[in-house]
Amino acid sequence: MEKILQDFRERIQAASAHKTALRIQGGASKSWYGQQSVGELLDTRAYAGIVAYEPTELVITARCGTPLAQIEAALDQHHQMLAFEPPRFNQHATLGGMLAAGLSGPRRATVGAVRDFVLGASLMDGRGELLHFGGQVMKNVAGYDVSRLLAGSMGTLGLITDISIKVLPKPFAETTLVFALSEAEALTRLNQWGGQALPISASAWHVGRLMLRLSGAEAAIRSAKKQLGGEEVKDAASYWHSLREQTHEFFAQDDEHGLWRLSLPSSAAPSQLTGKSMIEWGGAQRWLFTDENPQHIRDAASRAGGHASLFRAGDKSVGVFAPLTPAVAKIHRNLKAAFDPAGIFNPGRMYSDL
């Protein structure tokens, strides 16, 4: 593995010297995400393998090119999981791509996002130096939390090499309930339930049906079912998997419209935007296929207290991610300059000037 790291270092140093862009890529499962990728390919898949896994410590450490399928198979042997349910989108998805994209699945609203589970990471910067942040224990909180900063950075700060992730035991039991509710009724119920001690682990509303997943001890689930009502759905695991991987019929490719992701307060009222919609995360994540003007979409999200990003397809010239305020944009530029002074890593993947 040292030979592979040395090869990475030489590629990076040469690219920095000549100011040649590098396109960092693992399994290419999320190559469509963000702005258009440019530069020479730097493939991470050779640097793979689980470095350490101690089930009793609830921590796994692996190299960036390790397939997510391999990670999840190892965890499954000990009835453990990546609790934030990261989407793969194809069988080639890697651990490094998971952290760089920073995407989480249906359970995110109740357990936290990718960044909340990152304990430590190693990064090769634009000078070819290998930097280490955080550690492999949950009590390691000293210094700047750069390892979590890497979540969602889209490979713009450097080459992520190794990652330590906190894992959790799988729940003893799970069941899913379905309710016939309008969008407004579903949002009201979700906000009411959110303030109660209920074992809710995921929710999704689409075309008049609210799906609610309960996870935990058998007794807690029985009590919640009695309190909530609804109709129990048999074999619902495939439904939640289809949401995580976006194979659900809602996400079928819409050739006319882009897929927008609206991040809003869970208490936000139903959107007045036209189009086809789905709601997750207790109302905090809302998906929308629409032909509305992009600025109109972003203004509506801002008025509701959130932001909107063009998740998939559509006209990316309008910008994929929500525009940054001047102060936040300056922080991004300073971070980019500190880790990647020559600007070689995935330039423009998040914003045109980064």
Classify residue 293 by burial, with Cβ atoms within 10 Å: 0-12, 13-18, 19+.
exposed
Q: What percent of the chain has pLDDT over 90?
A: 89
Residue range 24-43, pLDDT digits in tens:
999 999 999 999 989 999 99
Is the pLDDT at 140 greater than 70, yes or no? no
**The token pair that represents 225 in the structure block:** 């079912």
- What integer pLDDT is reported at residue 145 of this predicted model? 78
255 pLDDT band (50/70/90 cuts)?
A: low
Q: Which stretches does DSSP call E strand in 135-293? A: 159-166, 168-169, 173-180, 200-206, 209-216, 231-233, 258-263, 276-280, 285-290
- Interior/surface letters 114-142, b for 16+ CB within 10 angstroms, e for the rest: bbebbbbbbbbbbebeeeebbbbeeeeee
| Measured distance CA(178)–CA(189) in Å, rounded | 13
Could you tell me the residue ranges of all domains in the chain?
A: 2-169+330-339, 173-245, 253-313
Length of the chain equals 354
- What integer pLDDT is reported at residue 256 of this predicted model? 72
Which are the contacts of 195, defined by CB distance < 8 A and separation ≥ 6? none
Report the CATH fold assignment for 253-313: Alpha-Beta Plaits (3.30.70)
| Measured distance CA(150)–CA(348) in Å, rounded | 16
Residue range 295-319, pLDDT digits in tens:
999 999 999 999 999 999 888 999 9
List, in sequence order, the alpha helices (H) in the chain.
2-18, 68-76, 95-101, 108-111, 146-149, 183-194, 218-228, 237-245, 294-303, 326-339
What phi-psi label fits residue 121: left (phi over 0), alpha (psi between -120 and 50 degrees) or beta?
beta
Rg (CA), the chain: 21
| Measured distance CA(147)–CA(168) in Å, rounded | 19
Collapsing DSSP to helix, strand or coil, 217 comes out as: coil
Collapsing DSSP to helix, strand or coil, 86 comes out as: coil
Q: Which of 37, 40, 34, 61 is nearest to 49 (CA)?
A: 61
CATH code 3.30.70 for 173-245: yes
147 pLDDT band (50/70/90 cuts)?
A: confident
Q: Which of 219, 213, 180, 216 is nearest to 282 (CA)?
A: 213
Average pLDDT across the chain, whole number:
94
Beta pairing, strands 209-216 & 200-206:
antiparallel
Report the CATH fold assignment for 2-169+330-339: 3.30.465
- What integer pLDDT is reported at residue 138 of this predicted model? 47
- Note whether 2-169+330-339 and 253-313 share their fold: no
Give me the residues paired with residue 23 across strands: 41
Residue range 324-347, pLDDT digits in tens:
999 999 999 999 999 999 999 999
Q: Which of 108, 114, 80, 76 is nearest to 95 (CA)?
A: 114
Give the pLDDT mean for 66-71. Answer: 98
Supply φ then ψ for residue 215, to 5 degrees: -135, 140
